[in-house]
Amino acid sequence: MSGRIAKLSSFEEKFVRKDLPSFEIGDTVKMKVKVQEADKTRLHPWEGTVIARRGTGIKETFTVRKISFGEGVERVFPIHSPVIASLQVVAKAK
């Protein structure tokens, strides 16, 4: 059984991103998210407040909330997703 766990964790290690800054709940983040449209890919800016972090390891996710045209919009992102082109912490939580 421990052999399987070792194989799984070594496999997951290949996909863990180490280029993202550390951030906590309450921080304001600015991201560039890759969006696939027909035959081209573009970068969509997304800025908001981190309201949740869930999971551990490769399965960890975070939720960002922003206000768009007077409506609250929440989106869940896997931390290690290749869809996130860049992530920058704009403001730390108090």
Average pLDDT over residues 35-63: 93
| Residue 29 buriedness (CB in 10 A; 0-12 / 13-18 / 19+) | buried
Which pLDDT tens digit goes with each residue over 13-30?
Answer: 777 888 889 999 999 999
Measured in degrees and rounded to the nearest 5, phi and psi for residue 17 equal: -90, 130
Average pLDDT over residues 69-87: 94
Q: How far is CA 94 from the centre of its chain?
A: 21
Residue range 2-91, CATH number: 2.30.30.790
Q: What's the pTM value of the predicted model, to 2 decimals? A: 0.82
Structural contact between residues 48 and 31, judged by C-beta atoms closer than 8 angstroms: no
Residue 7: pLDDT over 90: no
pLDDT band at 1 (very low <50, low <70, confident <90, very high): low
Domain residue ranges of the chain, discontinuous segments joined by +? 2-91
Average pLDDT over residues 36-52: 94
Residue 71: pLDDT over 70: yes
Distance CA 90, CA 49 (A): 10
